[in-house]
Structure 1
Amino acid sequence: MTSKPEIKLSVRNLVEFILRSGDIDSQFMSNSSALEGTRIHQKIQKENKDKGYAPEVSLKYSVDYQGFNFRIEGRADGIITKDELIIVDEIKSTNRPLEIIDENYNETHWAQAKCYAFIYAVQNNILEIDVQLTYYQLETDVIKKFIKHFRQDELKDFFYNLLDQYFIWASFTRDWVVKRDLSIKALDFPFETYRSGQRQLAIATYKTIVEHKKIFIQAPTGIGKTMSTLFPAIKAIAEGHTSKLFYLTAKTIVREVAEEAFSKMKDKGLELKAVTLTAKDKICFQEERLCDPDHCKFAKGHFDRVNDALLDALNHENYFTRPIIESYACKHQICPFEFSLDLTLWSDCVICDYNYVFDPRVYLKRFFSDNTGDYTFLIDEAHNLVDRSRSMFSAELYKKPILELKKLFKDKDPGINKSLNKLNTYMISLRKLADTDQHYTQKSEPKESYPLLLAFIGESEEWLVKNEGSELHEKLLELYFNALTFMRTAEFYDERYITYVENSNGDTKLKLFCLDPSHLLSEAIKRGKAAIFFSATLSPLDYFSEILGGGTDSYKISLPSPFDTNNRQLLIADNISTKYRHREKTYLAIAKCINSVIKQKQGNYIVYFPSYKYMNDVYEVFTERYPAVYTITQSTNMNEDDREIFLNLFRYRNSDGVLGFCVLGGIFSEGVDLKHEGLIGSIIIGVGLPMICFERDIIRDYFNEKNHCGYEYSYLYPGMNKVLQAAGRVIRTETDKGVILVIDERFSEHSYLKLFPREWFPNTRVRNLSELEKGLKDFWENS
């Protein structure tokens, strides 16, 4: 006998999905719920603890209904026993004036409380029960309550009416899962054969998912990392080992690679729904991005139309790329960004940026609020997550915006002016602490700033609610969110953080700086059940496993390149020092090296530099000496169109060849796939060390104290990673042939040689131009 399909839902998600209606409205609402919500609940619950008040009561209800096993769960804020009456209490904090809140203020608030009351009544065999809504006004601390009396049969009718409305979605899910799983089980690997290392990678990925573990994989370019992780992960869905995949990347171009992999599997018969999330600013239809019904027709009535749009899209599409999302959003006149977020609920794979899983400010709470999902995280280009996570878990405040707003609010609002004045005075005291060498650090958190920021947040919320549309609204809102982020980050502060003050560019910065993101990343990974970290340059593996929160029980594998080393020539010019103090003397020597490379074989090349200044200085010398060479340079302010124009020169200009000048670690040094004749050579100037700076130095000092590897963790490993990424642009397929020239005396030192991957052997050391030209000539003549 076939078991009934199970539908697991929270009360809140059921109610909000079925009953939502009306407009998207960006009118300011308090965003400090993370700071205030728990406090308000605990305050009310504590005040009533001696009055028969049971707080935070977990409720679960399972029922076989219309061919499904529904499992509905939730948590009532309070159950009150009073004079033989039972009252289910639902607490809502608000910035709205209580005068405008009546008992019909919000249908979903009542619906949520009524569902809790029904479950509690059934479980405790109660025929009649009261439901209470408790509204807490955050500015005034005034409470307003509404109470209604219900019979159990009334609540039952209401609850089952919600299930009836959800039936179409439950039926869709049931039918889709059957169709999806049949296609997955019938799916063969989409290529005729596995490349060398590809099967091993796929097996390791599947094993990690089944065992709910973490794995760190260094897999060189060419193995086919995207397919080798997606394919086994998809197989694991049909086997019941995971319910949803999150394919996480740092760059748009890498997300496109994942979309291509799904397209290949679709051609082989795969039925699977995948959605790609695009940043709100990029996908918004409006030039002026105001999400409210007065300024945006897509916001007006969005929730009245969005469920119809979902059904339409889900019944006709499987792969929700940006163009598909935009077309359905236009058709149904809804917000494309909010629509894409809703599509994640019904998709088997979500392709998105790291921040949707890891960033505490914006992660997808619809999935990760309770850490109970059996999700799998596929983390591509995982080397990028180190610095990204440090940024996600850090926060900073600047003095200048505080002073500017203080002046603007002097005669506008005494409360805000007073709070800003105190903050400004505090920042002045910090500026004095950093006067000696422009920096001041302390291991302890700046607790004296917290009450000042909380006071400012409270004063700002009241003004922002009442002054929507004011010319000062946007400026105050920006500082408000910065202060809120600072306070939320403070909740994570521990021995892995440092507080520092910096005086620079006429301003003073206070920063909570996350030196070691390993713990917070490890906690974030618990939002799922398995995590696959992979990159072509995840070396040393022990370093990345530690810094990305792997733990002692994580798996680690390093795979060899599948490509024939005879197809590439790796040359090491260790006769030139590119250290900062020597750079001005190297311009002509490097220009000659570049010319020696490109004159041996006509084609497309890219030269990578450690900084824009170094790149521009050498470019000037090179173009003056070799004006006939077609060149193009990377600039600091390139948008997506500019980047595409740049890359298309390599894809389509083949007659004379093109020489690109780019920066290491930039947009063209990783994630760029120029196959075949698109790129036949990379010339890498320097060892890629991050610029010596205050933050890098305090990271160094922290890890020196922790494990005596401060220089390696702060400078050496991140630098070499950039070099390896740039070198990986050349050989992209089995038939590609190309040259890699690295220029710096340090490449012959033991500390660097031991970081060379297996595919960098054999290599050839060249000490002058004649040896360089001979090595190149021999390679191209024998290729």
Structure 2
Amino acid sequence: MDEIINVSVRPLVEYALRSGSIDHRFRTATTMTEGTRLHQMVQKTYGELDKKEVPFDTRFHYEEMTFHIEGRCDGLLMNGDHYMIDEIKSTSLPLSDVNEQTHPVYWAQAKCYGYMAVEKYNLDQITIQLTYIQSESNDIIRFQHDLTASDLRAFMLRMIEQYAPFAKWKQKHTMMRNESCKALSFPFDTYREGQRKLAGSVYKTVQEEATLFAMAPTGIGKTISTLFPVMKAIGEGLGKKIFYLTAKTITRETAQEAFQLMEEKGLHTSSVTITARDKICFKEKTICQKDYCEFADGYYDRINEGMLDLLNNETRITRSVIEKYSQKHRLCPFELSLDLSYTADVVICDYNYLFNPRVSLKRLIDEQKKQTTVLVDEAHNLVDRAREMYSAELTKSPFLNLKRAYKNHNNAISDAAAELNRTFLDYRKSTQNGSLVLSEVDEELIVQLDTFVQESEKELLQQGSDELLLETYFLAQNFIRIAKLYDERFITYVEAGKLEVKIKLFCFDPSNLLQKMRKGFRANVFFSATFSPFSYFQNMLGWRGEDYAVRIPSPFPREHAEVLIAPLSTKYRDRERTLPSLVSLLENVVERKPGNYLFFFPSYGYMEEVYSAFTAPAQSETMIQKSGMTEEEREGFLSEFSSDRETSLVGFAVVGGIFSEGIDLKGERLTGVVVVGVGLPNFDTERQLMKTYFDQDGKNGFEYTYVYPGMNRVLQAGGRLIRTESDQGLLLLVDNRYLEKRYNQLLPYEWQHYQVLKEPSMFLQ
């Protein structure tokens, strides 16, 4: 019996007809909402007997496979016994630039529907019509071809022949994946205490198509405890795909290691890691145009062969694997990773690719989403990241510069920019002490931005090379996009100086938008070691009453960590006074017990000040975290923390930074951790506005804005110390606020056996 291969019309023809080059020069795309409106405008002209949104499906036998092909055509028009397929496409191009050969894939979609129509209605021939509607003018142009049933069958056969090699790989791969998932055993001899409970909670969440918030301690093995049960669920037919989302590169590597462990136990699956375009690009500049980049030139002519070569030979598709096959087949490595993400069983990537409205993987169709489980690692980071994603800002100066630059070149752009510049000037006049806070979107500003965007599109479609215009266009587009999301969880604020004016739509509370973004997926799991307090993160990440929650206690004896509190003030106003005592304390730490230490500070400035005053004890070395370190520099920093060093090592780092979470320095690699301060975020305008918002919302604004995020950073940094059952070491918390109730009650059970240093400059004996 033939195996059934399910495929929709659009991915079938897109795969079969891919050709040409990557070209990221400016092009405008009609939004889904606008496209739907334009489609409906054409469909309203249909006759009484004509049908719209007609579903079709067929089965096509080829070699030892049966392809089940389905789709929905825009229109089936009937005139007596004569049938016509109508495929509607909206375009921003002038219709004079559109001809019959502009989009072969559109014709191919229409022909597939034509084939299914002649088969369903037993027709000898049918008319295929391609209708273009111009998005700005609403003008329409149509192209038609009459095709016989045999013509259409021959066409469908060509599509299937092109698609078949990929279908064969997928068929074989899926069978091997499902069988290996069923047979897969946990990749360690035993579960750590708490791992089985976490894994069981995740499996139940996938089984019941629910959402889970899980707090599990550092070092328990959360990555394998979440990935393993989802792979087992896939083997039972509970979903087909995983998105593993992280905030940092180093945690993506942990997920890759988990798949290596499972593969050693027999798992067969495909996982791809997406690396940012700027990091993985082979060229000096990331200019994605065929006349600059040989990896963009002819990319789509080579992509199918390159992907099949990779998929037939690799399962864990890491950055190095992507680079290897990209070089071999002359393919853009970033675009290759994106194309693979729609095929792979597991996608390991940054939060942005699923949650950011500007960056998301938009081709992930609803049917795929229904079969996808989303795992959000270190989900405490998503709160601030989501605030960034759902906020937008504009400044005055680009519009002033564009007004001048286009004055004699394009009056429409110059006038639109001038009007916006005047609006910014009006805002400057309205500010008091340089700032202004509003609780609504300025609709007139949005109208002005929309005019600017439309005029910019016309210019960019013709020229496409003005970087200032292009950058400002995208900023304006994003501002308009975020304005559509604006509700009571946002605020508008204006900052004005002598030369610049900034307007920002700031999302204080991203919970509602995160809740909407997770809809449509089979299951969602948000997990972290530091969901503390749990209620805060539930509120901020979009908790619903029907969601599940689980808390896993630490499996490690808390006596393995010697926890000390030094009640020394690190408040900004006291730092100069307490600096000598702090330096003496830190020097005593290393003298007391030689080894490897991480000292965490609330800011680069404070860290550098202490570093300059610190005198390393004999037989010890120091290192300091630098801003904007490359991956190689980060790896070099961490590699110095070896267990066989002859001298002590002190690493100075920033709390909340790249070394305060997601790193494993097990055993003798780390002797102690010192956290200076309580990790509070900066007391800037945005945070002050957030505090006011949460106070007005009935919450404790200071705690929601400063204390909870700050202590979360502390918990993450301190969590670097104990990573396994055998780890032991010193944790020193330096600040008198740790003895205040609002901070003290947030210390985890594992730290509550702390001792207080009576004299901050000396250790207890």
Give TM-score scaled by structure 2 length. 0.95
Q: Distance in 1 between matches of 2:547 and 2:247?
A: 23
Q: Counterpart in 2 of 1:660?
A: 651
Q: For the residues of structure 1 that align with 2:597 and 2:11, how far apart are their CA atoms?
A: 53
- 2:453 is aligned with 1:479: no
Deviates more, 1:679-688 or 1:633-642: 633-642
The 1-side partners of 2:580 and 2:144 are apart by 83
Deviation for aligned residue 1:614: 1.7
Of residues 462, 467, 475, the one that matches 2:463 is 467
Q: 1:422 to 1:761 in 2, by over 3 A?
A: same
Amino acid in the other structure paired with 1:586:
T
Q: Is the counterpart of residue 491 in structure 1 residue 477 in structure 2?
A: no
Distance (whole Å) between structure 1 residues aligned to residue 471 and residue 393 of structure 2:
13
- Which aligned pairs between 1:417-436 and structure 2 lie closer than 5 A? 417-434=414-431, 436=432
Q: Distance in 1 between matches of 2:533 and 2:417?
A: 47
The 3 A distance-change label for structure 1 pair 234 and 751 is: same
Contact 1:560 1:759 in 2 (8 A): no
In 2, Cα distance between the equivalents of 1:505 and 1:695? 20
Tell me if structure 1 keeps the 8 A contact 2:194–2:552: yes
Q: Distance in 2 between matches of 1:368 and 1:760?
A: 46
Partner of 1:585: 577
Q: Is residue 644 of structure 1 aligned with residue 641 of structure 2?
A: no
Q: For each residue in 1:99-135, what CA deviation from the matched residue of structure 2 results, as whole angstroms up to 9, or x when unmatched?
A: 3422122211111122233345555565543322222
Equivalent pair of 1:20/1:303 in contact (CA under 8 Å): yes
User: Are the equivalent residues in 1 in contact too, given 2:54–2:75 (CA < 8 A)?
Assistant: no
Letter in 1 for 2:459: W
Change in CA separation of 1:69 and 1:426 when aligned onto 2, cut-off 3 Å: farther
Give, in whole Å, the separation in 1 of the partners of 2:495 and 2:619: 47
Counterpart pick for 1:227 among 211, 224, 228:
224
Provide, for residues 529-583 of structure 1, a one-character-per-residue CA deviation record: whole Å limited to 9, x for no partner.
Answer: 1011111111222221221112111111111112122211011122x22222222
1:691 Cα deviation from its structure 2 partner: 1.0
CA distance, structure 2, for counterparts of residue 381 and residue 298 of structure 1: 35
Distance 1:586 1:491 in 2: 49
Q: Distance in 2 between matches of 1:440 and 1:653?
A: 58
Is contact 2:178-2:235 (8 Å) kept? yes
Structure 1 counterpart of 2:535: 542
Question: Where does residue 719 of structure 2 map in the other structure?
Answer: 728
Corresponding letter in the other structure for 1:268: K
User: Matched residue of 1:701: which SS?
Assistant: helix
Contact 2:56–2:73 at 8 Å: present in 1 too?
no
SS at match of 1:189: coil
Whole-angstrom distance in 2 between the partners of 1:580 and 1:102: 67
1:286 and 2:279 matched: no
The reply to whether residue 688 of structure 1 matches residue 685 of structure 2 is no
How far apart are the structure 1 equivalents of 2:536 and 2:273?
A: 31
Of 137, 142, 148, the match for 2:139 = 142
C-alpha change, 1:163 and 1:655, in structure 2 (3 Å) is same
Distance 1:50 1:511 in 2: 49
Whether the 8 Å CA contact 2:46–2:77 is kept in 1: the answer is no
Contact 1:501 1:511 survives alignment (8 Å):
yes
Task: Give 1:248's aligned residue.
Answer: 245
Q: State the SS of the aligned residue for 1:129.
A: strand
Structure 2 counterpart of 1:356, from 334, 353, 362: 353
TM-score of the superposed pair, with normalisation by structure 1: 0.93
- Gaps of at least 5 residues in structure 2 are none
**Residues 701, 627 of structure 1: alpha-carbon distance in 2 compared, 3 angstrom cutoff:** farther
C-alpha displacement of 1:381? 0.6
Alignment of 1:99-138 (within 5 A): 99-123=96-120, 128-138=125-135
Amino acid at match of 1:738: G
* Residue 763 of structure 2: aligned partner: 773
The answer to whether the 8 A contact 1:541-1:556 is kept is no
Report the CA distance shift for 1:260/1:548 in structure 2 as closer, same or farther (over 3 A).
same
What's 2:605 paired with?
613
Amino acid at match of 1:544: F
Moved more, 146-155 or 512-521: 146-155
SS of residue paired to 1:759: helix
**Counterpart code for 2:533:** P
Distance in 2 (CA, whole Å) between partners of 1:518 and 1:674 is 34
Aligned AA (2:227): L
Comparing 531-540 and 502-511, the one that deviates more: 502-511
Gap change, CA 1:60 and 1:492, over 3 Å in 2: farther
Q: Which of 339, 342, 347 pairs up with 1:342? A: 339
Question: What secondary structure is seen at the aligned counterpart in 2 of 1:630?
Answer: strand
Cα distance change on mapping 1:510 and 1:58 into 2, 3 Å: farther
User: What SS does the aligned partner of 1:204 have?
Assistant: helix
SS in 2 for 1:707: coil
1:701 maps to 2:692: yes
| Corresponding residue for residue 586 of structure 2 | 594
Partner of 2:7: 9
Cα distance in structure 2, aligned partners of 1:634 and 1:174: 48
Deviations 1:666-705 (A, max 9, x none): 1111112212222211111111111112212222222222
- 5 Å matches for 1:626-637? 630-637=621-628
Distance change >3 Å, CA 400–CA 627, structure 1 → 2: farther
Q: CA 1:125–1:340 in structure 2 vs 1: closer, same or farther (change >3 Å)?
A: same
Conserved? CA contact 1:593–1:769, under 8 Å: yes
| DSSP 3-state at the match of 2:300 | helix
- Aligned to 2:747, the other structure's residue is in SS state coil
SS at match of 1:539: coil
Structure 1: give runs of 5+ residues left out of the alignment. Answer: 778-783
One-letter code aligned to 2:731 = I
Q: CA deviation at 1:77?
A: 3.3
Query: Is the Cα contact below 8 Å between 1:62 and 1:69 reproduced in 2?
Result: no
**C-alpha distance after superposition, 1:436-456 (max 9, x if no partner):** 132222222221112211111
Cα distance in 2 for partners of 1:494, 1:179 equals 48
SS of 2:155's equivalent?
Answer: helix
Instruction: For residue 395 of structure 1, report the CA deviation from its aligned partner.
Output: 1.3
2:54–2:74 Cα contact (<8 Å) kept: no
1:746 aligns with 2:742: no
> Which stretch shifts more, 497-506 or 359-368?
497-506
Match of 2:441 among 438, 445, 449: 445
Q: Does 1:674 align with 2:665?
A: yes
> Once structures 1 and 2 are overlaid, which stretch shifts more, 97-106 or 413-422?
97-106
| Cα pair distance change 1:545/1:7, threshold 3 Å | farther
Matches within 5 A, 1:174-573: 174-368=171-365, 372-434=369-431, 436-468=432-464, 470=465, 473-504=466-497, 506-573=499-566
Residue type matched to 1:59 in 2?
Answer: P
Query: Deviation of residue 635 (structure 1)?
Result: 2.1
Say if 1:530 and 1:554 are closer, same or farther in 2 by CA, change over 3 A: same
Looking at structure 2, the residues matched to 88 and 353 of structure 1 have their Cα atoms a distance apart, in angstroms, of 42
